[in-house]
Amino acid sequence: MPNEKSPIARFESGENFYSHHYFGFHQADYKGQEGFVFRVWAPNAQQIWLVGDFNDWDYSLPMKKEAQSDVWEIFTTKPKRGEFYKYLVKQENGRIVYKIDPFATYFEKRPHDAAVIHTIPEKKWRDGLWRGRTKHSNYFKRPMNIYEVHAGSWKSNEDGTPYSFEKLKETLIPYVKEMGFSHIEFMPLMEHPLGESWGYQLIGYFALSSYYGTPEEFQDFVEECHLNNIGVLIDWVPGHFCINDDALAYYDGTPQFEYNDPIRAKNVRWGSLNFDLSKPQIQSFLISSALYWIEMFHIDGIRVDAVSNMLYLDYDDGPTVIKQASDNRNWDGFYFLQKLNAVIKLAHPNVIMIAEESSSETKITGTIENGALGFDYKWNLGWMNDTLCFYEMDAAFRKYHFHLLTFSFMYMMNENYILPLSHDEVVHGKRSLMHKMWGDRYKQFAQLRNLYVYLITHPGKKLLFMGSEWGQFLEWKSDQALEWVDLEDEMNGSMQHFTKRLNAFYQNEKSLWELDHTAETIEIIDADNSEQTVLSFIRKGKAKKDFLIVILNFSPIERQNFKVGVPFPGSYEEVLNTEMKEFGGTWIEPNQISKTSQEPYKHFDYQIQTIVPSLGAIILKPKEINIRIKKMNEHSAK
């Protein structure tokens, strides 16, 4: 048998995807003594000491570096569970600085950042049914309606502190289940020193932020989600990291985690440092982090943040980077992302990999063998920006910019998309979704309902940021709870009720997700009616009779006797109308059943007439149709 590589050798070669099993601290027995072994990677440090509560933070526990190794190690019996620790690092230039443990699994509460000697007991999971079901289901052909959550500001205690995951288990999960969302996506939960970063400036890549409770509480939360048929996704940031001096930045006094080139290392836009994704040790570190969250917490999917920053050398706002071979591509990032997806899919084929990526130059979703990065989904940021720009516009000018709403139909099958109405669009002066809408308060709610119908019926999976489901007026603030008091207002309550009904409609209608990522899922009826500013299309399921007719009116004029082409003769029934009184509108009765006339409309042989409410949307479903007639006509034409 050939000798297996040591954990250090595999880490050094970029192949140790479970490096957290070796580095950090671990319970150990040495010469009959029970204690802990601590290991840290610091190639150019002159000396490292283990310091903590257990030795009054002094120099009494020097670590040793074995010959031909970049890893420092110590075994000691002094530490006790619950005590704090750090590493005292004498860097290459002789400077001595306290540093966190890069592999720590728990930290003290911010603003402090010492690691805690905390071992997570092995959990007896009860979510086997959920995990078994996901193994045998194809999420591309299933509904995916994501509720995006910032754990620190969904709700708060009376003293202003956020709910822990123990409390979120009792409150957030029933709410998400009642509202009909299929997944919760959390903005980063890993340890970060500044709440205003929303978790995107990380220091602890293996640690749940103690601000939200213990790792065990988060395990219980995920388990409870699965028992209630709710998936859990998390945001993860492998591109850049917090610049704080006591964290990963220039750990041993040299560019260790970051690029050697100071221009490539510095991320001007976010005030952080970029990981050197070409280094095999960094690849081992980051892929280990992803697998840790998947396996320790049974996470269903990972949304990789800021992929464009990893793909392009000129993405940042800083000085121009010298281009490689006349190309702005960062091939280090490109190949790392392919490797990340390959490793995760090999170990966990059913884990959903999502990219937040803003360009169109690189194939993001699809197989690595065909040149893609290997992600399952990509956020459609172009759709989000164009759509919100259109809805913010005065209705009188929308007919001149109708392409903003219809352009996505030209590229909607280029990738497997998630349509995000995310946190980024309701902060920093951008206003809440409800506040973006044109017109008075009544018109704003009418258009918000219209927008959500467009979101739900457009091909692609769905994502909605918390608070948007009832039309919160104020912008999101990361240090304050959502404005739950809004729900005392009848219009906000009706909006929440509408979102709940729409989510249930989406879950129940196969035509909205069964063929989601194939061209057969949609047939455009009329995307050129810019004068009336009305869009109409058909969403289709596998069965011939399984389809929906969607009509969206973006003008404040009710469209009487509105003609719509339909594929089969018969009758069509209205199954959703955004202007019904129960949703906050004025209609008491829905449209009557529409019967076809044999008059051509566009490329259809038949048409119906109906009423489309101002700034509203309606969805029709076949009630009694004859699909054989069309087949006979097609056969005769041949």
Asked if 245 is an active-site residue, the reply is no
* Gap between the Cα atoms of 401 and 628, Å rounded: 40
- What is the distance of C-alpha 133 from the center of its chain? 22
* Gap between the Cα atoms of 177 and 546, Å rounded: 26
Asked if 483 is an active-site residue, the reply is no
Give the CA angle between residues 391, 395, 399 to the nearest 5°: 95
Token duo for residue 83:
């005590």
Distances (CA, A) of 59 to 24, 30, 63, 138: 19, 22, 10, 56
Token duo for residue 195:
């709440």
Contact 539, 512 (CB under 8 A): yes
Contact 224, 282 (CB under 8 A): no
Q: Which helix (H) or strand (E) holds 8?
A: helix 7-12
* Gap between the Cα atoms of 567 and 553, Å rounded: 21
Task: Name the residue type at position 331.
Answer: W
* Gap between the Cα atoms of 1 and 419, Å rounded: 51
* Gap between the Cα atoms of 244 and 317, Å rounded: 20
Q: In what order do the strands lie in the sheet with 240-241?
A: 240-241, 272-274, 266-267
Please identify which of the residues 356, 376, 415, 509 carries the catalytic annotation.
356
SS3 content of the chain, % helix, strand, coil (to 5): 30, 25, 45
What does DSSP say about strands 352-355 and 301-304: parallel, antiparallel, or unpaired? parallel
SS (H, E, C) 453-499: HHHHHCCCEEEEECCHHHCCCCCCCCCCCCCHHHHHCHHHHHHHHHH
Task: Name the residue type at position 349.
Answer: P
Contact 364, 307 (CB under 8 A): yes
Q: How many CB atoms lie within 10 A of CB 582?
A: 12
Greatest Cα-to-Cα distance within the chain, rounded to the nearest angstrom: 93
Please identify which of the residues 276, 300, 305, 579 carries the catalytic annotation.
305
What is the chain's alpha carbon radius of gyration, rounded to the nearest angstrom? 27
* Catalytic positions, written as ranges: 305, 356
